[in-house]
Amino acid sequence: MQPISTSTTESIASVQAVLRRLVAAWERHDAEAYGELFTEDATYITYVGTFYRGRRDIVESHRTLFTGFLKGTRLADEVLDIRFYGPGVAVVNGRGDTYKGRRPAKLAKIQTYTLVREADGRWRIAAFQNTKRKPLMEAVSYRFAPGLVPSGEH
């Protein structure tokens, strides 16, 4: 399916605002506010491969993370691309990472967000996929098979 050029400045700004609110909720360690940015039936796949289905799962898992493994962390997010597939569907590719202290120069995860505009007009995340990059493996594969290097490598 090819992207449909329905991307208006307003739609782009609205999608980017959702991601900014996601980062802000993370910084407050507010699992409820974080989860509110997802659809009721959203799917969320972590970089370790855990699959969560539904807003409640996303909220409860983040409530646990914010008081445990990810306590005191911040979220770095960098949008690489936003494409619209009709007036109510956006796919966002980006890089992200969690950190304490200084923001990392290179973000170690590649992410895909699928956002939908719901009946109330608000954009929410319907699906999220987070994959940890393996730069050494990429470099080795590129060296032995140069055809694997993506055009426009970021």
Confidence (pLDDT) at 61: 97
Give the domain ranges of the chain: 9-148
Residue 121 in contact with residue 59, Cβ under 8 Å? no
Confidence (pLDDT) at 8: 84
Q: What is the arrangement of strands in the sheet containing 89-99, beginning at the earlier edge strand?
A: 51-53, 38-45, 123-132, 109-117, 89-99, 74-84
pLDDT at 1 over 70: no
CATH fold of 9-148: Nuclear Transport Factor 2; Chain: A, (3.10.450)
Give the SS3 label for residue 72. coil
pLDDT at 32 over 50: yes
Half-sphere exposure of 88 (CA within 13 A, CB side): 8
pTM: 0.88
Q: For residues 87-104, give the mean pLDDT.
A: 96
Confidence (pLDDT) at 43: 98
pLDDT at 86 over 80: yes
Confidence (pLDDT) at 154: 46
Helices marked H in 29-92: 31-36, 55-66
Q: For residues 51-65, give the mean pLDDT.
A: 97
